Structure 1
Amino acid sequence: MNDVVKYNEAADAANRPVIDFLFEEFQQALPTASFKVWHGAPVFFLDDIPVVGYQDHKHGVKVLFWSGKDFSEPALLGIGKHRAAGITYTDVATINVEDLRRYLRLSAEIIWDYRSLRLKK
């Protein structure tokens, strides 16, 4: 069984619907991406570069877009010193699907390759 499936199944029961929804959306939006548990959470990769991931937390599911600061999306909050930004979802009903799909599209278009610190387009 895939390590991401195991992660999803072990998630907090309150967050499980959000995690299941995100997992399906990520797979649909990024059909060529590989995914694995990386640094303790599911992460989707394009050309071995991390682009988006999520993590089960006590107060919801945190979604991280590795190049999210460059999306110019006000709902995404900057995280750390590099280009990452994220959003937390607490319920499937609160997810703006149109926004999420736009973020996922942008995550495939704007990719910072942290190994060489350059923007790939």
Structure 2
Amino acid sequence: MELNATINQYNAIRSSEDEKICNQLAKLINTELHEAESKIWHAHPVWFIEGNPIVGYSKQKPGIRLMFWSGADFEEKGLNVKGEKFKDASVFYNDLSEINPAELIIWLKKARDIQWDYKNIVKRKGLLERLR
């Protein structure tokens, strides 16, 4: 599946190293989650399955943050930045060499299999329900 043009634009305006990181993340995510819809959402790239946000990345002070919306339940030590209110977990990258493609593919498979319903969180007044 071809990468969303707006995600290519997002990646292209990063610094050289950040662009490489973003391009690699987008390529791996797009390949593994081929059924997912991708778009710029809240100003950064996000992939959705059936309207539910699954994974995305953004530029932050500590580096490029790769975030899995349901990542806290993956039980992966590499996803070491945990959200305080929801089920998200993240990792930061500052160099392309820090990305372990095999590890990321495992996380992406878990992202497909372990999902909390963020799509309907407003309707449920902030309560999350497990989908899978």
Shorter-chain-normalised TM-score: which range? over 0.9
- The Cα shift of 1:119 comes to 1.1
CA contact (8 A) 1:12 1:56 kept: no
Greater fraction of residues in strand? 1
Q: Which residue of 1 aligns with 2:53?
A: 50
Q: Which residue of 2 aligns with 1:87?
A: 91
1:98 to 2:102 alignment? yes
- AA in 2 matched with 1:42: P
CA contact (8 A) 2:74 2:110 kept: yes
Matched-pair identity in %: 31
1:64 to 2:75 alignment? no
Q: Which residue of 2 aligns with 1:36?
A: 39
Paired residue total: 121
1:16-27 equivalence runs, <5 A: 16-27=19-30
| Distance (Å, rounded) in 2 between the aligned partners of 1:94 and 1:113 | 30
1:10 to 2:21 alignment? no
| Distance (Å, rounded) in 1 between the aligned partners of 2:5 and 2:51 | 18
Root-mean-square deviation (CA), in Å? Answer: 1.4
Q: Which runs of 5+ in 1 are unaligned?
A: none
Q: Which runs of 5+ in 2 are unaligned?
A: none
Q: Which residue of 1 aligns with 2:129?
A: 118
- AA in 2 matched with 1:44: W
Give the structure-2-normalised TM-score. Answer: 0.85
